[in-house]
Amino acid sequence: MVVFTAVIAAQDPRSPEYALVQKSLARGWNTWDVYSVGAQVLLPAGFTIRVGLKHNTALNSDAFLSNMLIGRQGKGEEVVFPGPHTWDGGYTELRLSWLKHELLLQTAHDGEDLVMLATPIGSEAGLPPTLVISTGVLWNRPGAAAKSGDHIEFSNAARRIPVYWTGRDRPSTAMPIDTPYFAAPFQEPVGVSTGRARSVDLISAILRRQRPASGGVSRAIESVMGWDTIFDPSKSRVISPVSRVWSTGWGGYVLFDWDTFFAASLAAVGDRNLAYADAIETLREATPEGFVPNYARADGWKSFDRSEPPVGAITVLDLYRRFRENWLLRDAFGPLLRWNRWWDGHREQGGYLVLGTDAGNRPSDPDDKAIGTLQGAKYESGLDNSPMYDGAPFHPESNTIHLADVGMMSLYVADCDALSDMAAVLGKVPEERELRARGERYRAKLQSLWDEKTGMFLNRDLDTGRPSARLSPTNFYPMLARAATPSQAARMVNEHLLNPEEFWGEWVIPSIARSDPAFRDQEYWRGRIWGPMNYLVYLGLLNYDQPSARKQLAQKSLALFNKEWTLNGHVHENYNAITGMGDDVSSSDRFYHWGALLGLIDHLENGTGTIQSAADDRGPGR
């Protein structure tokens, strides 16, 4: 028998400042449990109160819903419409539909206590479902929950917390639960409260007081991040994986590189500490070779062979410019510098950056079949099945794609620039000189990919020297790197970005040009719209005098985000570039936080954000 064991890379100790960040985040009642948005957990104790439903009919009489997730798509599975979720969990609200039963679940804080109200909206089934409020202690934390008269009591060495409810307790002998619980026919609103008993009316009053006022895109971002933030007990940390569906499918959590850096940018809208946590925890997943992996998942497994787009430094620098805390730069600079040097040392080919997969690195994730393959190298781009890499020249002896990649090189140059600015703040003069020189070297090579006839920077086959005619939003990223001259940027915007034959239209920006045959696929990176692409193009436009293009991109991005957010409460991994919908395919996760970048663009454009362009520091694009 072969036993696979992941080698968990040693992590740098948390700085005192960052330890306080995690301590401040990991406390109080919130939806910390990755497996259910219908569960509330008290940190650090691990006490949990979980809402469930039992379906009562002769057919499917054993159907029991103990965990609720947003965006599950299987037949007969629950449908959750997420409502408001404040940053601290002080108020949450969701609607649930399951086997023709409808439920409204609201929770709020009342001081240190938790109150919950479950309200039946309606049921088309014959018998009412049974509402089940179960309790327990998660993650092998010390303590217990026990039924005592009219309440359940949590206890550990430090505290005792009673839990009351307003229902009429009639437990079923067939209930599939082995922890203390309340259960009764669900025919009227039922309240739950900790600390002391409260009536439904009193709980309703608390909920009304705590419910946030309706707001614009910042409220939407708050709710998206609230529902996608969890506690990872394996490393005692608060993190924001891309979605709960992805995390439960990967064993408990999964942190993708650029996805989670973008989560930090989203969190910065309203929760500084969560923004710090998402950025730093992504860096803390770095491999022994010094790069941030494509993914890191439960039990210490990660992609030891490949990285993903280097957006860490631009993210951290923006957080510093927002909040002006030098310790963040001190904590992040070393890991970011090692990652930056890794790209230059492992992915340089003829002065350009290429994609690769270092198959010799160990250990190898036994479930990852892409290691050492063309697909593994494609994964390093973050654009898993992009038509840009169809027929790409892959060299098995080096496990690299011999393609000068405009998008990756642009992000790398921006990474060098951001790190050099960080080095200047920290007084690291040799490192600042090193980074500025490396950035200029790659910027010059990037400029060599400009095609005057096309009016665009083009990928280049390094075996043949021929440019690629395929156009993607990544071809606009040289504006982010300030590699384009103002006249080049103007051509890119006017001849390509705003061209309805290529990238413009009612819904923008498609991940491959509309004129490309692959656009019709509308499957994943083959033509669909992705929030991070819009966001990075927007950041590039900030470096040039393109106010009209920025404004239009912000408006169209927000319209796309709002369409399914308003209709279904969904924030999609990607969207159809023809219809503007995300639900048309099963390969678009329905609650994937980086879809909210579409709203963040408008939030920044309207002056409520503080993204600072490179032009603000260095003058207009060269």
| pLDDT 10s digits, 335-381 | 999 999 999 999 999 999 999 999 988 888 888 999 999 999 999 99
Residue 101 lies in a domain: yes
Cα 429 to Cα 192, 300, 338, distances in angstroms: 59, 36, 16
Helix (H) or strand (E) holding 334: helix 326-346
Residue 524 lies in a domain: no
- Burial of 501: CB neighbours in 10 Å, binned 0-12, 13-18, 19+: exposed
Residue 220 lies in a domain: no
pLDDT, tens digit, for every residue of 478-525? 999 999 999 999 999 999 999 999 999 999 999 999 999 999 999 999
Number of domains in the chain: 1
Mean pLDDT value of segment 145-169: 94
Under 8 Å CB-to-CB from 36, ≥6 apart: which residues?
A: 50, 66, 67, 68, 69
C-alpha torsion 356→360→361→367, nearest 10: 80
Q: What percent of the chain has pLDDT over 70?
A: 94
Reply yes or no on whether the pLDDT at 610 is more than 70.
Answer: no
Residue 581 lies in a domain: no
User: Quick check: 152 and 180 in contact, CB under 8 A?
Assistant: yes
pTM: 0.95
pLDDT class of 321 with cuts at 50, 70, 90: very high
Predicted confidence at residue 613, as pLDDT, reads: 39
Predicted confidence at residue 4, as pLDDT, reads: 45
Q: Which neighbouring-strand residues pair with 146?
A: 153
User: Quick check: 244 and 591 in contact, CB under 8 A?
Assistant: yes
Look up the CATH number of the domain holding residue 164.
2.70.98.110
Residue 471 lies in a domain: no
Residue numbers of the domain that contains 76: 27-210
DSSP 563-590: HHHHHHS-B-S-B-TTT--STTSTTS-T
Taking the alpha carbons at both ends of the chain, their separation in whole angstroms is 61
Rounded CA separation 68/54 (Å): 13
pLDDT, tens digit, for every residue of 178-230? 999 999 999 999 999 999 999 999 999 999 999 999 878 999 999 999 999 99
User: Quick check: 34 and 67 in contact, CB under 8 A?
Assistant: no
In eight-state DSSP terms, residue 526 is: B
Mean pLDDT value of segment 281-287: 98
**What are the two backbone dihedrals, phi and then psi, of residue 374, each rounded to the nearest 5 degrees?**
-55, -40
pLDDT, tens digit, for every residue of 556-587? 999 999 999 999 999 999 999 999 999 999 99
pLDDT, tens digit, for every residue of 421-470? 999 999 999 999 999 999 999 999 999 999 999 999 999 999 999 999 99
pLDDT, tens digit, for every residue of 61-102? 678 999 999 999 998 899 999 999 999 999 999 999 999 999
